[in-house]
Amino acid sequence: MKCIIDTDPGADDVLALIMALNSPDLEILALTTVEGNARLEHTTANALRLLDYMGRTEIPVYSGESTPLEGEFHHAYEVHGDEGLTVRLPDTETKPAQGGAIDFIVDTALAMPGEVTLFALGPLTNVARALMRDERVKDAFERVYVMGGQGDGSGNVTPYAEFNIWDDPYAANVVFGSGTPVTLVGLNITRQTSIARNEEAWLTGDTPGEMLAAQVLESWFELDEAGHRSRFSMHDPVTIMAALRPDLIQTRAATLTVETDGERVGEIAADYESGGSVDVTVGVKSAEALAFMRGLLRG
Ligand code: BDR
Ligand code: CA
C-alpha cells in the first residue's frame, strides 16, 4: 500500500510512525508535517529525527501548514512534552525536502490516482488545503484514514471535542464534506486500545522501534507528576492499524458536520441515516488490536 503520512509528532504519532516504518505492507512515499501538538518547527524536527533514528532517511519529510484555516493553532506541549515529545531524539543533519506538503500531496495523488492512501494523524489543515487546491484530488486518494473525533463519548480537550478536530474544525468540515473516502478513527476506539502505566510487555524489547516506544511510554507517564495519567491511548497507532487490519474494526457510513463556533467547537455530529463518504469506526477488537500493534513496534 503506497501511503503518505501527515503527522504532528507527538508521542502517539511516534508510535504510529514506528509501526508504519516496520510494516512490510506499507510503502511510505513521504511524511508531511502539520502544526498541532507542537509548533511546526518542532513537529518537523521530530519527524526528521525519528527517520534518522530508524535508519530511514530515504523517506522525504515535507513541511506543511503552521496556521489552521481560521485563527491560530492551540498546542499540546503539556501532554506531549517540551518540543512536542517526552523523549529528545538525537539531532539529525537531514533537512525537510524542497517544496511544501500541500504540493506534494496534490501532485502525488494526481500522479497515481486511486493508488495512494493518506493517513492524517494531526489537525486536518494540510489535507483540507490539498483538497481545496484542485478539485480532482477528492477522487484521487485510495482512502484517507483520519484520527479524530469524540466518537460517542466525551472529548479530550473539552467535554465535546477531540484535539485534532478542535484544532482546525474548518479543515475537518472540508475533508468530511469533500466526498473523498474517509475512515475516521475516534476516541471511542482509541480509548479501548490503551496501555496502562508500567505494563511490562510494552516496556521491553531490543529492536530500535521497541526501545524507542518503551522510552516514549515511560517518559510520557513520568511527565505527569500528579499521577493522573493512568492509561496511554493508542490514538494514532490505531489509525495505521485500521488500514492494515480492517478485520479488527467495525465502521458505519455517515455524513459528518463539525461545530465551528461556541463552547461545542470541534464536536462532530454524525448522520448515519443517510450514509455518506465517511466510515466512522464504531467497534474494535481490543486485545487483537493491541497484540498486532505491539508486534509491529518490534519490527
Ligand atoms: C490526537 O491529538 C494528538 O494530541 C494526538 O497525537 C492524536 O493525534 C488525540 O486526540
Ligand atoms: Ca497526532
List domains and CATH numbers for the chain.
Answer: 2-298 (3.90.245.10)
Q: Calculate how far, in angstroms, residue 176's C-alpha sits from the geometric centre of ligand 2.
A: 18
* 254, 276 Cβ separation under 8 angstroms: yes
| Ligand 2 midpoint to CA 6 (Å) | 9
Nearest alpha carbon, ligand 1 atom 10: 163
The dihedral built from the CA positions of residue 240, 246, 250 and 256, taken in this order, carries a sign that is: positive
Phi/psi at 224 (nearest 5 deg)? -95, 90
Give me Rg for the CA atoms of the chain. Answer: 17
Residue 136 predicted with pLDDT over 90: yes
CA of 111 from ligand 1 middle (Å) equals: 30
Q: Does residue 228 carry a catalytic annotation?
A: no
- Provide the grid cell at 252: 458505519
For the chain, the average pLDDT equals: 96
- Banded model confidence at residue 79, pLDDT cuts 50, 70, 90: confident
Give the environment of ion ligand 2: residues with CB less than 5 A.
8, 10, 13, 121-122, 236
The minimum-distance atom of ligand 1 relative to the CA of 164 is 2
Least confident of 56-60, 85-89, 187-191, 253-257: 85-89
Q: For 244-261, what is the mean pLDDT?
A: 98
pLDDT band at 170 (very low <50, low <70, confident <90, very high): very high
228 has pLDDT over 80: no
Task: Report the separation in Å between the CA atom of 64 and the middle of ligand 2, taken as the mean of its atom positions.
Answer: 14
Cell numbers that stand for 49 in this block: 529525527
Mutating to test ligand 1, I would choose from 37, 46, 73 the residue with most ligand atoms within 8 A of its C-beta, which is 37
Give residue 26's pLDDT: 98
Q: Is residue 278 a contact partner of residue 176, using CB atoms and an 8 Å limit? A: yes
0.95 exceeded by pTM? yes
**Which atom of ligand 1 is the closest one to the Cα of 11?**
6
| Better-predicted residue by pLDDT, 37 or 165 | 165
Instruction: Count the helices and strands in the chain (H runs, E runs).
Output: 11, 11
Residues with CB under 6 A from ligand 1: 10, 12-13, 37, 76, 79, 121-122, 147, 156, 162-164, 235-236
Name the pLDDT band for 229 (thresholds 50, 70, 90).
confident
Best residue among 18, 34, 162, 164 to mutate for probing ligand 1's pocket (most ligand atoms within 8 Å of CB) is: 164
Per-residue pLDDT band for 80 (boundaries 50, 70, 90) equals confident
pLDDT in tens, 189-208: 999 999 999 899 999 999 99
The per-residue pLDDT for 252 is 98
Is there a contact between 180 and 135 (Cβ–Cβ < 8 Å)? Answer: no
3-state helix, strand, coil in the chain (%, to 5): 40, 20, 40
Distance 252 CA to ligand 2 centre (A): 23
